[in-house]
């Protein structure tokens, strides 16, 4: 069970809802249904950063845009908030989640298949308060675990109502959501205390341990591969392991006996660090076993791996830090559950899996091997079930019943499995993961390697600060924690051309924000490279229109006439970014020139800009070799503009004749002679929102606004 850390380190908001939604849909139910078959023992692996985030939702600490807008009065939603909900509320399986509720499916059809912002703005007027209220309720109800839906009378009544929901219904639903979220972790602890399940852990923020130990280990599978500047910090791997054990112990009352290394990633060094931490078992994929013992496996026509006495038994690796047992998953059986059985009749699928397991035992006995075979089935704990009918519960019930009733079969935990047989000696651990037995997903693409270079630079800054002793302990720990989160596997999972999703930019942004948080905590300037997306495989367009003529506004903080900014260029902030901070940031930036000045208008998402400047400052930044920035803030009721230029000594303030005024909007006029246009008289600019030295917003994020000084005024 794993989700990356979705909490923005600079402003604390949760930028994606997947922890909450998967906790509603799967985490509680997966362990709950096991009570029906108490002799079936299962190991659940829970990543500590996931436990932290579930706890934040239970305590009410988590701030998340979709959660907030789901409770907002439907008749007060503005167009931008409606568009945001129309985009995110339907991020669910169209048949198994949306299709279960006729009104939800009706609203989905009304929205249409397109979810780009322009299309959603067209359909938003068709969603009145009643439709939006139904959407707010049903887009949450659909994610509730099916068992909880059946057992919760209040939730059953809401489902039976079907449509025409009220604001009171939304408040009741929020209470039931909190109740389910609060039940998740206690359900696992109770099952573990009763001896029905084993709970294991992963490294704290789900890093790829072998790459933390030594990024050059990628060349074990690919000797000629390009690698980033060498990252070698086995102490970071040890830190992620030990902190995970401590957190697991605090939550569940006992330390884990074993650890599923993130993505099944192992190496000699990584396994040694796990053994040094006192862990008794770990696991990976059959492909890693093949390359560790340099013997290939092959499968017969029924899918059984041969030789059976290699895959279907525990192994032991005697490391310099002590022995640790290892199991290697049967990839075929695991992937049948993860990727194939969802398209089959669930009863037939469960029967097929049970038969395949029995055949392994029959082959084992027929070949005369002593003892019993151990068949490791290891897969992602959450994502598969969305694609199964009934959330996979029919399949799992049939499988568990077959395991409990079958006299030839016994379902055991990982600790029970490694104790059930005499292990073979593993001569070495090949460096690889459960994907292609290598690390290409995380370090194989140029975008991945840029990410590792930036991670390495932040690690160098952290080491230098630790050595100097000049950073306050609290700030030092903030920097370390941000770095730990930046080391997670999920960021590089989405770089390159092997994986993609509609949330790629959010993942890219979070990675860069975690690295920025390291520098912010150390009071150091962040590398300019962290200002730009690392994604090169997809074009992330900056949504801006060009100026259509001269712009000569009255600088008074108000739009004084309809045509004052009519000729200006416009960048409208994408809703995916605008809503994360509770709608209290920037909605749009307008810009243009006349012969004397560059003028910039900043519009707030809600309220008036004067309120935003009461909490933060707005910075208009001009990146490049001769970087400039204009800081606009309020002091003693006055609007103050400061011009700063970047030098080797940092930002140095200088004289300026720029004018700014703040009211419902911010208007800024900068004399053109103060600017340093690049080749072809082109300027690049961004608008930042900064609070206490911490950057909260950056617009645009995917690239700067580009403005040609020649194109409007002729120079």
Do 75 and 146 lie in a common domain?
A: yes
Assigned token pair, 16 = 């994606």
Mean pLDDT of 308-331: 98
pLDDT, position 712: 46
Of 531, 555, 584, the residue that ends a domain is 531
Residue 40 lies in a domain: no
DSSP string, 559-596: --STTTTTTSEEEEPPHHHHTTTTT-SEEEEEEEE-SS
In the chain, what percentage of residues exceed pLDDT 90?
A: 82
Do 382 and 479 lie in a common domain?
A: no
Domain of residue 211, CATH code:
3.20.110.10
Angle (deg, nearest 10), helices 393-405 and 346-366: 30
Residue 282 lies in a domain: yes
DSSP string, 343-411: GS-HHHHHHHHHHHHHHHHHHHHHTT-SS---------SSGGGGGSGGGGHHHHHHHHHHHHH-TT---
Contact 143, 155 (CB under 8 A): no
- Please tell me the pTM assigned to this model: 0.91
pLDDT, position 707: 87
Of 425, 454, 487, the residue that ends a domain is 425
What pLDDT digit, counting tens, does each position of 606-640 carry?
A: 778 888 888 889 999 998 767 899 999 999 889 99
Number of C-beta neighbours around residue 636 at 10 A: 5
| Nearest Cα residue to 514 out of 491, 482, 487, 488 | 482
Reported confidence tier of residue 575, pLDDT bands at 50, 70, 90: low
pLDDT, position 710: 64
Contact 600, 685 (CB under 8 A): yes
Do 80 and 119 lie in a common domain?
A: yes
**Distance (Å) of CA 440 to CA 262, 435, 488, 496, 498:** 14, 9, 15, 10, 9
Asked whether the CA dihedral 224, 228, 233, 237 is positive or negative, the reply is negative
Do 632 and 590 lie in a common domain?
A: yes
Number of C-beta neighbours around residue 400 at 10 A: 20
Contact 76, 30 (CB under 8 A): no
Domain of residue 672, CATH code:
2.60.40
Do 343 and 465 lie in a common domain?
A: no
Do 373 and 239 lie in a common domain?
A: yes
Checking 252-257 for CB contacts under 8 A at 24+ apart, the result is: 252/188, 252/189, 252/192, 252/199, 253/189, 253/193, 254/192, 256/199, 256/200, 256/201, 257/198, 257/200, 257/281, 257/414, 257/415
| Nearest Cα residue to 485 out of 234, 207, 170, 691 | 207
Residue 215 lies in a domain: yes
574 has pLDDT over 80: no
Of 150, 182, 214, the residue that ends a domain is 182
Do 653 and 577 lie in a common domain?
A: yes
Residue 570 lies in a domain: yes
Reported confidence tier of residue 179, pLDDT bands at 50, 70, 90: very high
Name which residue leads in pLDDT, 541 or 113: 113
Residue 431 lies in a domain: no
Q: How far is CA 549 from the centre of its chain?
A: 42
Q: What is the mean pLDDT of the chain?
A: 93
What pLDDT digit, counting tens, does each position of 349-366 carry?
A: 999 999 999 999 999 999
Mean pLDDT of 189-211: 98
Do 462 and 518 lie in a common domain?
A: yes
Residue 29 lies in a domain: no
Do 262 and 375 lie in a common domain?
A: yes
Do 520 and 551 lie in a common domain?
A: no
Report how many domains make up the chain: 4
164 has pLDDT over 50: yes
Domain of residue 499, CATH code:
1.20.1430
Q: Domain of 457?
A: 445-531
Name which residue leads in pLDDT, 623 or 654: 654
Contact 89, 135 (CB under 8 A): yes
Residue 513 lies in a domain: yes
Residue 120 lies in a domain: yes
Do 313 and 418 lie in a common domain?
A: yes
- Express the helix, strand and coil content of the chain in percent, nearest 5 each: 45, 20, 35
| Nearest Cα residue to 605 out of 576, 631, 579, 634 | 579
Do 367 and 472 lie in a common domain?
A: no
Assigned token pair, 154 = 């209040």
- Exposed, middle or buried: residue 383 (CB in 10 Å: 0-12, 13-18, 19+)? middle
């Amino acid at each position: 069970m794993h989700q990356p850390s979705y909490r923005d380190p600079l402003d604390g908001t949760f930028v994606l809802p997947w922890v909450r939604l998967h906790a509603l849909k799967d985490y509680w139910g997966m362990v709950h249904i096991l009570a029906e078959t108490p002799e079936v023992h299962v190991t659940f692996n829970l990543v500590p950063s996931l436990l932290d985030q579930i706890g934040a939702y239970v305590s009410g600490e988590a701030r998340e845009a979709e959660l907030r807008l789901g409770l907002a009065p439907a008749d007060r939603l503005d167009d931008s908030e409606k568009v945001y909900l129309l985009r995110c509320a339907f991020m669910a399986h169209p048949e198994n989640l949306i299709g279960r509720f006729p009104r939800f499916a009706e609203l989905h059809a009304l929205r249409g298949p397109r979810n780009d912002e322009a299309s959603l703005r067209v359909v938003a007027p068709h969603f009145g308060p009643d439709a939006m209220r139904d959407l707010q309720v049903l887009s949450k109800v659909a994610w509730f675990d099916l068992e909880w839906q059946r057992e919760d009378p209040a939730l059953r009544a809401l489902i039976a109502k079907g449509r025409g929901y009220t604001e009171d219904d939304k408040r009741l639903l929020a209470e039931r959501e909190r109740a389910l979220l609060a039940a998740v972790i206690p359900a696992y602890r109770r099952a573990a205390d009763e001896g029905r399940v084993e709970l294991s852990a992963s490294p704290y923020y789900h890093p790829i341990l072998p790459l933390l130990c030594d990024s050059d280990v990628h060349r074990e599978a690919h000797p000629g591969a390009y690698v980033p500047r060498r990252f070698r910090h086995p102490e970071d791997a040890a830190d992620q392991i030990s902190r995970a054990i401590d957190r697991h112990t605090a939550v569940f009352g006992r330390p884990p006996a074993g650890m599923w290394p993130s993505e099944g990633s192992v190496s000699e060094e990584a396994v040694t660090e796990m053994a040094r931490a006192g862990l008794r078992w770990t696991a990976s994929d059959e492909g890693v076993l093949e390359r560790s013992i340099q013997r290939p496996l092959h499968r017969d026509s029924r899918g059984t791996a041969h030789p059976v006495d290699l895959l279907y038994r525990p192994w032991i690796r005697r490391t310099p830090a002590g022995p640790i047992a290892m199991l290697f998953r049967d990839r075929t059986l695991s992937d049948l559950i993860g990727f194939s059985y969802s398209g089959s009749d669930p009863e037939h699928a469960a029967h097929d899996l049970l038969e395949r397991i029995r055949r392994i035992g029959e082959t084992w006995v027929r070949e005369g091997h002593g003892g019993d075979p151990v068949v490791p089935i290891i897969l992602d704990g959450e994502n598969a079930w969305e694609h199964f009918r009934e959330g996979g519960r029919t399949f799992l019930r049939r499988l568990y019943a077959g395991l409990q009733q079958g006299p030839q079969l016994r379902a055991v935990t990982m600790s029970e499995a490694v104790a059930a047989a005499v292990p073979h000696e593993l001569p070495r651990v090949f460096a690889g993961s459960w994907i292609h037995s290598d690390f290409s997903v995380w370090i194989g693409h140029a975008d991945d390697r840029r990410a590792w270079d930036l991670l390495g630079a932040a690690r160098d800054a952290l080491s230098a600060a630790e050595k100097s002793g000049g950073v306050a302990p609290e700030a030092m720990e903030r920097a370390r924690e941000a770095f730990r989160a930046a080391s997670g596997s999920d960021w590089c999972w989405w770089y390159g051309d092997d994986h993609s999703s509609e949330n790629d930019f959010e993942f890219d942004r979070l990675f860069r924000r975690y690295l920025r948080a390291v520098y912010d905590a150390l009071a150091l300037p962040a590398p300019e490279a962290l200002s730009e997306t690392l994604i090169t495989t997809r074009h992330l367009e900056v949504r801006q229109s060009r100026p259509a003529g001269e712009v000569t506004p009255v600088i008074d903080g108000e739009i004084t006439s309809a045509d004052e900014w009519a000729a200006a260029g416009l960048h409208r902030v994408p809703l995916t970014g605008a809503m994360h901070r509770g709608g209290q940031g920037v909605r749009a930036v307008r810009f243009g020139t006349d012969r004397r000045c560059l003028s910039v208008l900043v519009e707030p998402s809600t309220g008036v800009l004067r309120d935003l400047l009461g909490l933060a400052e707005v910075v208009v930044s001009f990146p490049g070799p001769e970087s400039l920035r204009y800081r606009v803030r309020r002091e003693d009721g006055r609007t103050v503009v400061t011009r700063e230029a970047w030098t080797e000594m940092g930002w140095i303030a200088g004289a300026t004749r720029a004018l700014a005024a703040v009211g419902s909007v911010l208007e800024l006029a900068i004399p053109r002679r103060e600017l340093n246009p690049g080749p072809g008289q082109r300027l690049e600019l961004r608008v930042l929102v900064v609070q206490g030295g911490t950057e909260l917003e950056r617009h645009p994020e995917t690239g700067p606004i580009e403005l040609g000084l020649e194109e409007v005024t002729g120079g």
